[in-house]
């Protein structure tokens, strides 16, 4: 009888230890919805639109920070470091689905118009990014690792094209075919810049 009791206690202890391990290792981070009425960018203090440019990160202690442009999220990381980040997310340019920052494919060109003029768009996979470049005729494919050494300069000409709230006056956040994205680049080529 004592042997049976020991086995039960051993089984209970093993199960409890397993539950503790699963709880400790199983911290899950999820992207939170954007609420345009209250969400402001943690860096530039502009409204975060519920669009393809929104990004966010959650720290390991549960703090969530939202950004209106991936460049603002990069600035937050530069100022605060990345050791305490539990997860960071960007949105797919085509369908606004949340993607883990490290798993996304990026397209960069200074002529691409984004809320804070960093010129980086996010895609859930490389074929989507390649299709965008083929359609627009501009852009360089980048990975999250490539962004780590990116210069993160804002295109001041594109900043001048933004409305008073730092967002594109031509329907920032509206779904379109993306053709309006390249207009600034065409103007730059014509002016010789």
Mind listing the pLDDT tens digit for each residue in 14-58? 666 555 544 445 568 999 999 999 999 999 999 999 999 999 999
Work out the number of other CB atoms within 10 angstroms of the CB of residue 79.
9
The pLDDT score that the predictor gives to residue 24 is 47
> What average pLDDT does the chain have?
81
| CA dihedral (149, 185, 73, 89) positive or negative | negative
Contact predicate 66/42, CB 8 Å: yes
What residue has token string 């937050």? 76
Residue scoring higher pLDDT (174 or 113): 113
Task: Give the list of residues 6+ apart from residue 88 with CB closer than 8 angstroms, or none.
Answer: 55, 56, 57, 58, 73, 77, 100, 101, 102
Phi-psi domain of 96 (left: phi exceeds 0; alpha: psi -120 through 50; beta: other) = left
Q: CB 39: neighbour CB atoms within 10 A?
A: 20
Rg (alpha carbons) of the chain, rounded to whole number: 22
3-state helix vs strand vs coil in the chain, percent to 5:
35, 20, 45
Look up the pTM and report it: 0.71
Report the DSSP beta bridge partners of residue 91. Answer: 98
Q: Compare 166 and 87 and report the one with higher pLDDT.
A: 87
Average pLDDT over residues 77-96: 97
Checking if the pLDDT of 13 tops 70, the result is no
* Residue 191 clears pLDDT 60, i.e. is over it: no
Mean pLDDT calculated for residue range 167-176:
38
**pLDDT tens-place string over residues 94-152:** 999 999 999 999 999 999 999 999 999 999 999 999 999 999 999 999 999 999 999 99
């Amino acid at each position: 009888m004592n042997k049976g009791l020991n086995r039960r206690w051993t089984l209970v202890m093993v199960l409890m230890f397993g539950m503790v391990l699963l709880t400790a290792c199983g911290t899950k981070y999820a992207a939170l919805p954007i609420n345009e009425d209250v969400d402001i960018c943690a860096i530039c203090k502009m409204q975060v639109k519920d669009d393809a440019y929104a990004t966010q990160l959650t720290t390991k202690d549960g703090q969530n920070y939202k950004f209106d442009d991936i460049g603002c999220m990069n600035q937050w990381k530069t100022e605060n470091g990345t050791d305490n980040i539990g997860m960071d997310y960007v949105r797919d340019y085509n369908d606004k689905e949340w993607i883990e920052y490290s798993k996304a494919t990026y397209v960069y060109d200074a002529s691409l118009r984004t809320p804070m003029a960093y010129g980086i768009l996010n895609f859930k996979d490389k074929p989507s990014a390649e299709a965008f470049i083929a359609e627009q005729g501009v852009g360089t494919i980048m990975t999250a690792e490539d962004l780590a050494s990116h210069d993160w300069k804002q295109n001041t000409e594109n900043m001048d094209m933004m409305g008073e709230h730092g967002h594109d006056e031509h329907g920032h956040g509206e779904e379109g075919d993306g053709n309006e994205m390249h207009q600034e680049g065409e103007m730059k080529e014509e002016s010789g810049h």
